[in-house]
Amino acid sequence: MQLTVKEALQVYPLSEARLVAGGEGTSRMMKSVNVMDAPDIADWIKSGELLFTTAFIMKDNETDALRLMRRLNERGCAGLGIKLGRFWQAIPQGIIEEADRLRLPLLELPFQFTFSDQMNALFKAEHERSNRLLHEVVQKQKKLMQFALQQQPHRNVFAELATVLNYPLAVIGSRGHVLYGSEGIAGDAVVQGWPWKSVMHRVKWNQGSCHRVPIKQNDEEYGFLLVFTDSALSLRAEEELFQQAADVLAFYMDMTYREHINPTVQDEMRTLLTQYLDNKMTVAELTKLSENKGVHLFQGTYQCVLITLEPSVFAEGKLLKQIHRELQYNPLMQFTASQHFQIEDGILSIYTCPTGRDYGEELSAFLLNRFGDVLAAQEAKGASAPRFWISKMKHEPKSLREAYQECLDTRQLARRFGMKDRALQFEMLEFAYVFQHVPDHIMENYCNKVLEPLLARDGDPNQVLMNTLESFIENDGLINEAAKQLFVHRNTVTYRMEKVGSLLQMDFKKTNDLLKLKLVFTFRKFVRDKTTARPYSQHH
């Protein structure tokens, strides 16, 4: 029997009973029903038993009755049902108060029904419940089999699996990060106690249970499937269903990974890409050979992202492999149609730009959000962390080499200028790319020369004008955008810029002056970032 006392009180004729005390304990699990007819019942009772009595062994001495109740509670008694009318006409107040204190459900049983009537009804209800659950499990197994046989591309398998099981679920990746969570299932509580042993385990969750089922295929571990049920106990058949669901999930994740990262195909694509990037193959040859292997590199306009671990000297190959795998099979990683290939010391991704515009900003935010837990964990222990180098949008396949070079140049410029941005777009550094070989001292001298009136002690003591000018240049000379960034009225920015123009002897309507200031603030950013990066580099 697997009923709570609360559920048992809904079964006729026990539903005619009155709960007189211990209402806070009705969530106790009831495994069986017994009759209390001997004074030493406390020595024989099993945990989870609901006891029925006529109060014969309790009627003479209330102190002994209270002692017996405490003993029953210690032994795990689910509750106590007393039939009045034979030995007690009413339950003594002391007994009621003690039941409330112990949170032990105390029932006043209906006089017109025998103990056997109520016991048989409970066993029948439990039998019907078990049959109903078994039927539901069988139906879910059929749906699970249909789910496993489907071969639809770009499926959100995690959400579909939650629908099949009809329970909220979460999928935890091999790093202890949440790959998927049903509505209301999220937060640190889900992964509490990580790392977990690779065995099926059930833990208490709110008013029900959380079943942790390892997702593994052969020796490869992909994480855990967490299924949240509303019952503190479950049928063995249901636990087997959860195990089958985890097996299906493991097969899907393994199959998806192998489809995209088939060792042979992956090695061949790495060779092809390397030959192309080394100018030993044309893009037409690359495209044709790739399509022969079932890999379609280009589907319209695209952007490249190069993922590397920095500092690369301490990079872990295992972490790069995990990132590569997750980019392939995690539905939450599907920003747009994309291909991902491990090359040399990084991962080269080709993202389709579906609307024909540059997605640099969105890609940057997306990747930082999805890999935020990895970045935080790696940086917290001072280890190499992923960095994302993003090219400009390209219109034709022949620009792939150029896009890859932009990723490399972005990485190189970030290293040179000590920039700590986790994700950088080539577009943001394109201006600096032209001046990358200018020595630091020349940059500083040039900045000081142009900004001298603002740098003077009485020229801009609180740096208000300098900050306004920097925001103005960052926003391409747009007053409204600069005002939004500075949280001031546009008239305030206009007034300040007039004052700055007067001090610097510049006209901000002239392209030459704007270009000069763009260069100044680019140099200032590089020099500033490099200066702040030095202690960081020395520390590491």
The full set of domains in the chain, from first to last, is 3-122 (3.40.1390.20), 150-259 (3.30.450.40), 298-433 (3.30.70.270), 440-539 (1.10.10.2840)
In a 3-state reduction of DSSP, which class is residue 28?
Answer: coil
pLDDT at 394: 93
Using CA atoms, how far apart are residues 476 and 347, in angstroms rounded to an integer? 33
Q: What is the total residue count of the chain?
A: 540
pLDDT at 487: 92
CB 59 within 8 A of CB 83: no
Using CA atoms, how far apart are residues 239 and 234, in angstroms rounded to an integer? 7
Distance of CA 155 to the CA centre of its chain: 18
CB 379 within 8 A of CB 540: no
- Residue 417's nearest CA partner among 398, 392, 435, 399 is 435
- Residue 39's nearest CA partner among 66, 54, 52, 58 is 58
| Residue 189 CB burial class (10 angstroms; 0-12, 13-18, ≥19) | exposed
In a 3-state reduction of DSSP, which class is residue 427?
Answer: helix
In a 3-state reduction of DSSP, which class is residue 307?
Answer: strand
pLDDT at 111: 86
What pTM does this model have? 0.49
Q: Which residue do the tokens 């006089």 mark?
A: 111
CB 54 within 8 A of CB 87: yes
- Residue 222's nearest CA partner among 378, 320, 326 is 326
What is Dmax (Cα atoms) for the chain?
A: 107
pLDDT in tens, the chain (540 residues): 778 899 888 888 888 889 999 999 998 988 888 888 777 777 788 888 998 988 888 888 888 889 989 999 998 999 999 998 888 888 999 999 999 999 999 999 988 888 888 888 888 877 677 667 666 766 766 777 776 666 555 567 888 888 888 889 988 887 777 888 888 776 678 888 888 888 888 888 876 788 899 998 877 788 899 999 887 666 677 888 888 888 888 887 776 655 555 556 777 888 899 899 999 999 999 999 988 887 888 888 999 999 999 887 766 777 888 888 788 766 666 777 888 888 887 999 999 998 888 888 889 888 988 888 888 888 888 888 999 999 999 999 999 999 999 999 889 888 876 677 888 888 877 766 667 677 888 888 988 888 888 887 566 667 889 899 989 988 878 899 889 989 999 999 999 999 999 989 999 888 778 878 888 888 887 777 666 555 444 444
pLDDT at 529: 63
Q: Which residues neighbour 191 within 8 Å (Cβ) at sequence distance 6 or greater?
A: 172, 176, 177, 178
H/E element holding 183? none
Q: How many CA atoms lie within 13 A of 387 on its CB side?
A: 24
φ/ψ of 523, rounded to 5, equals -65, -45
pLDDT at 537: 43
Residue 260's CB is within 10 A of a number of other CB atoms, namely 19
φ/ψ of 384, rounded to 5, equals -60, 135
pLDDT at 241: 85
Q: Which two tokens stand for residue 363?
A: 């890609």
Q: Which two tokens stand for residue 296?
A: 């379609």
